[in-house]
Chain A
Amino acid sequence: MKGFRILVTVIFGFLLVTACSEQQDFDQLDNLEITPTYETSVFYVKAQESLINRVSGLSFFTQDFNFDAFEEPLFAERVLSGVLSYELENTTSKPIEISLEFLDENENILDTEEFRMDAAPTSTLVRNVAYGPTGKSLDIIKNTSKIRLVATNLGDGSSTSNLANPAIVLRSSAKFTLELK
């Protein structure tokens, strides 16, 4: 056994002595940054003009929607920046105001996004709202638990647009960069 040990030592010693390796620095791993950007739709709301005409009063629609997506730890703890993109389309005969209120768990308003559109015909309103270093505070997003949608009819309550299926349509998508490492 002693001879075997000596032989193994000699052989591997030889390999170790003759084998070379460029200097390796495994601490570089600490500098690795993994910051992907993900994109998906967030919410879509459609209010038909026939519905608007049925409701009396200026504010024809107010509703709180639970929205926990931004509170998920995977997102909230890692988000670096992002953009919420909105598209508002109005094919009704009424000027409309839409207000989006971002609420925390205690229903405190963290931020408000307001849109106002003229009656049809009008082009689609597109708005990109940045969050993070070059935009609004990320805390708004991280702490949002609900979204309150308030829609106000700034016109009359009886006219009907000549366009097909007149409605207010709010589309939105989110594009956020996360720090995975």
Chain B
Amino acid sequence: MRLTHYLLLGSVMLTMGVFAQNKQILYDFNEIPQSLILNPGVETDFKWYAGVPLLSGVSGYVGANGISVNDIFAEDGVDINIKVRERALNVLKPRDEFSTTVQIEYFNGGFRSNDPSVFYSFGGYFEIDNITFWPQDYAYLIFDGNADQLNREFDLGDLNSRGSMVNVFHFGINKKVDRNLTIGARGKLYSGIVDYSSTSNKGYLVNTQGQNNRIATTLDADLMLRTSGFQSLDEASDSDTAAGQFVKRAFFGGDLGLGIDVGFTYHLSERTTITGSVLDLGFIHHGNDAQSYSLNGKATVEGIEIDILENFANLNRDFWQDLVDEVEGLIPFETDTDSYVTFRPTKLYASIRNDFGEPVNNGGGQIDCDCTAGSSGAVELRTKYRNSIGGQLYMINRPRGPQIALTGFYTRRFGNFLALKGTYTADKFSYTNVGLGMNLQAGPVNFYVMADNLLSYKNIAATNYASFQLGMNIISWGRNK
């Protein structure tokens, strides 16, 4: 019991932004091999690279656009009941979300083909995603109830949540078509460990003036929760085999799915480049340990109704139980083990970039190593410049429709060993999201670290959004410069 409870609790607690993290700093930061994960058509010049196991790519993200930890838990002398009412109940709407993504690469590598225009990359990572939208009317029902609210319909569709823990294996091909165009594609094999989703709920609860009695209470429900993996982990936990069950489900013993990423880089001119990618066009078939729970139907009750004349011959029956049975008949709670399919949250990145300044290879800042921009494992590399400026677009398909983030960025390269990228991003979480990323190349050792929403660090508890990415790789460009 405990393991799955912890998993669920952990997932829900982590549930706070986008159903997958916007990695706007890493995107098109093509000194870093992991930029291939965000755009399989990024320009690469590596001969090969190998991510340090478990350290090549670690990223996390927590976001809640409508409220922060500080809003509720600040030691400000205000009664928490007042804070919850004024800063959550009275403010949050069903489009406000709490979400989290955590991604940990456990292996990642790439190598150039005998055809130098082709680069292969591969790897595996665990991903935990959760998103829950503020269940406004459920919150009102829980905090206030339905008393004295005749004709007020409580919208049961406000329940909208989903999450998953997935092990992803991927293999990508990156092809430099010509001097201007690079394309790429990545196939993904998903091995689902746990999944839950309750995203298409409908219905309402309402009290109206009764026809016979004082109040008629109507429940019109079309609710469904789909889960997969929890029961088997629960049972395994009871028999102390949870770890084995977890590994089994992570490595093809659970739910399976397929996906694809595609992307490109195209030079409009010597210094102007556009890129784009679509990620996670895919699905997972949850056919192993699926459990669905549904409540579907409509009933209106006015309490126990006894018309003595009509029931005269049968007054000894159990009216209460009959009422319960009638409601359960009209709105049956059902469980089943039918398999189901979930689609991965598809993401789209696009950017336009203008390079300017001196070429990286000119001037100082070069270290004598088999490394960095301009060196050549690939064919006919384009010149890299010290400065880049541009804009990026990020879109993600979400349960309540697509969400968009716009980013402006500036990249500065210091020789062939250091590059910095600063970003400004506007999205539903923040209009003051300034991020900074650093890529450091020390010989063959590549290290990068990135963090978002830096302005929030003056009071981290008050932020609506925080994310980070870091990783370490060994990179070879095939020959010393």
Contacts and interface: CB of A to CB of B under 8 A. Distances in A.
Nearest to B76: A22
Nearest to B207: A39
B308 A45 contact: yes
Interface string B442-480: 100101010100000111111000000010100000000
B381 interface: no
B142 A34 contact: yes
Interface string B296-320: 0000011111111100100110111
A65 B306 contact: yes
A85 interface: yes
Interface stretch (B77-85, B121-129, B252-260): B77-85
Interface of A: 1, 3-4, 7-8, 11, 15, 18-26, 28-29, 31-34, 36-48, 50-51, 61, 63, 65-69, 85, 87, 171-173, 175, 177-178, 180
B142 A24 contact: no
B270 interface: no
Contacts of A19: 457-458, 460
A80 to B, nearest CB: 12
5 contacts: A36-B147, A43-B303, A44-B210, A47-B309, A51-B309
B145 A61 contact: no
Q: What 3 A-B pairs are tightest by C-beta distance, nearest first?
A: A36-B145, A41-B303, A39-B147
A51 B308 contact: yes
B147 A47 contact: no
B55 interface: yes
B474 to A, nearest CB: 11
A32 B81 contact: yes
Contacts of A171: 210, 212-214
A38 B146 contact: yes
Given A23-B74, A40-B207, 8 more contacts: A3-B445, A24-B74, A31-B80, A34-B143, A37-B148, A41-B217, A41-B303, A175-B148
A1 B440 CA distance: 15
Contacts of B144: 36-37
B207 A44 contact: no
A4 B217 CA distance: 63
A37 B457 contact: no
Greatest chain B CB density within 10 A among A15, A36, A44 is at: A44
A22 B215 contact: no
Contacts of A32: 80-81, 84
B69 interface: yes
A5 to B, nearest CB: 10
Interface string B205-227: 00100101111110000000000
A172 B80 contact: no
B303 A29 contact: no
Contacts of B55: 4
B240 to A, nearest CB: 32
A138 B459 CA distance: 47
A20 B81 CA distance: 26
Given A24-B70, A31-B79, A171-B212, A66 B217 contact: no
B115 interface: no
B306 A23 contact: no
Contact of A63 (B73, B75, B315): B315
A41 B301 contact: yes
B308 A47 contact: yes
Contact of B304 (A20, A21, A36, A43): A43
B141 interface: yes
A130 B184 CA distance: 72
Give the most central of B69, B81, B148, B308: most A CB within 10 Å. B308
B177 to A, nearest CB: 36
A11 B438 CA distance: 11
Interface in B277-311: 301-309
A51 B311 CA distance: 11
A8 B145 contact: no
A20 B215 contact: no
Contacts of B306: 43-46, 65
A66 B318 contact: yes
Contacts of B458: 19-20
B362 interface: no
B451 A22 contact: no
B215 A40 contact: yes
